[in-house]
Amino acid sequence: MYRVCFVCTGNICRSPMAESVFRSHVADAGLSGLVEVDSAGTGGWHEGDGADPRTVAVLEAAGYEPGHRARQFRASWFAGLDLVIALDAGHLRDLRALASTPEDAAKVRLLRSYDPAASAAQTDVPDPYYGPLDGFEDCLQLVEAASPGLLAAVSEAVKEKEHTP
């Protein structure tokens, strides 16, 4: 099983959105039995809460399945994960600081690094929490734009993992 975890700040907006979108891409590619997708936050403020209602509304309107309980990312999780996807540069920094080995730190990547249309200056998926609904819609567009590239990378990694004794 190849394991991917999306991480944002509180695990109620961006990362559950990315989790739902990517899980859908994984299912469409026929990889559900080979790839496990989840999400977490760098902080535990919302642990146990569902996704923000605006996240749920945007996901449902786009045809995605939102089902989620917020939780905080733990350093001990690195051992069981293949890829940790940060939603912005602050999360990337925080997650790499949690990593106890260079190998674990190397598992952390920015989501937008998988979007071929994103420039080096466009690394973050902005936090929509304090803004209006259209910020959540913008967030979904950025997540969707990066998902095919991420799926291609994960598909390749799954093939390599299958062929490694």
* HSE of 82, CA atoms in CB hemisphere, 13 A: 17
To the query of whether residue 8 is one of the catalytic residues in this protein, the response is yes
Find tokens 């995605």 and name the residue.
Answer: 64
60 close to 16: Cβ distance less than 8 angstroms: no
8 A C-beta contact, residue 91 and residue 69: no
The active-site residue, picked from 8, 112, 115, 139, is 8
- On average, the pLDDT of the chain sits at 96
Question: Residue 154 to residues 53, 78, 98: CA-CA distances in angstroms?
Answer: 29, 17, 23
Known catalytic membership, residue 14 = yes
The domain ranges of the chain are 2-162
Within the chain, which residues score under 50 in pLDDT? Answer: none
In CATH, which superfamily holds the domain spanning 2-162?
Response regulator (3.40.50.2300)
- What is the helix (H) or strand (E) element at residue 133, kind and residue range? helix 133-162
Catalytic residue check, 52? no
Q: What is the pLDDT at residue 25? A: 97
Residue pLDDT, tens place only, 130-153: 999 999 999 999 999 999 999 999
Catalytic one of 14, 23, 54, 112: 14
Q: Which of 9, 38, 26, 57 is nearest to 154 (CA)?
A: 26
Catalytic residue among 49, 82, 94, 127: 127
CB of 70 closer than 8 Å to CB of 30: no
